[in-house]
Amino acid sequence: MPLPACLRGCARLLYCIPVTIIIMVVMWSYYAYVVHFCWILLTCATQRVVFLCLFHMCFGMFSWSFWKTLSTPPSSPSVEFQLSSSDSLLYEQEHGGKEKSQILLEISQKLPVHTRTAARAIRFCHHCQLIKPDRCHHCSVCQMCVLKMDHHCPWLNNCIGFSNYKFFMLFLLYSLLYCLLIVTTVTPTFIQLWLGKLFDSCVKLHVLFLTLVSGMFAVTLCFLLFFHIWLLTSNKTTLEWLSVPFFADGPASEAFDVGVQANFLQVFGKKKSLWPLPVSSSQGDGHSFPLRWQMSSHSHSVMNGNGHYAMEGSVVSPEGVSVTVALDD
């Protein structure tokens, strides 16, 4: 049942609070570092210039990747996965699970769909009226199905998925570098302040809190970044780490793992010059992905004309298992 307009408005405001907090903290850190640390405390002009140049480089890349992660909408499945009007009407008219299952099965035969529910059913979203592509999930916050959904991030008020996962990884990286730069350059002054050698109370508070906050964020970001690097190299999403994907012949935790290099290139693309930049360079269209069991020692993945992955020298896993209808997962 949809929420009233006033409640939806209140929910949108609540969702914006974490993002607002991050922006305010970043703006304060910029002010504290540039004004109180560089301009007031640093006496060496050369050191001040070097620190300001490094800081603004990190700040610029952090802000760029943060904005791209925040503003890039999650990708939803294409129209070919949507039930047509006639199919939708036929599906709703059927009352038996077997008949519904047969309709979905016939439609899915034309689509690059391999994953199933835990009950080995065709994954169907009743909210969006579509057959879910592999690695696609419905987000209850965004109210849509998201391609290669990793998770919904409340701190960014956005779903992290196929369209912005590269941006999210760079956001974590540049956030960590931003915090480490602050901690590294401010720590000597922080020690002097802690020992009481500098007595300006306002400057002291800003620098002390800047060091402490940056250090705490650096520790958190370090763990989060290394976790997502592991997910990236093993070609898993956070949802797939929490719940193993199922196929017609059972669960397979490493189904999409096709090697560290190939896994990395799926997200960052083949152009090395674009790797450090938050611009779109991911491979594929988010609807289909190479499968581990389809790879032989001499096969490699290519793209077909529709933007889906096709396999040369592939061996298709048998999927002759009966399926049942699933309302949602």
Cα of first residue to Cα of last residue in the chain, in angstroms, is: 18
User: Among 267, 256, 258, 277, which Cα is nearest to 229's?
Assistant: 267
Q: Say how many CA atoms lie within 13 Å of 323 toward its Cβ.
A: 29
Helices (H), the chain: 5-31, 45-71, 85-93, 97-108, 165-194, 201-233, 238-242, 260-268
CB neighbours of 314 closer than 8 A, spacing ≥ 6? 294, 295, 296, 299
Backbone torsions φ then ψ of 231, nearest 5 degrees:
-60, -40
Backbone torsions φ then ψ of 3, nearest 5 degrees:
-75, 150
Q: Strand, coil or helix: what is 153?
A: strand
Selected catalytic residue, list 38, 136, 145, 153 = 153
Q: Strand, coil or helix: what is 245?
A: coil
DSSP 34: I
Please confirm, yes or no, whether 58 is among the known catalytic residues. no
DSSP 199: -
Q: Which residues are catalytic?
A: 153
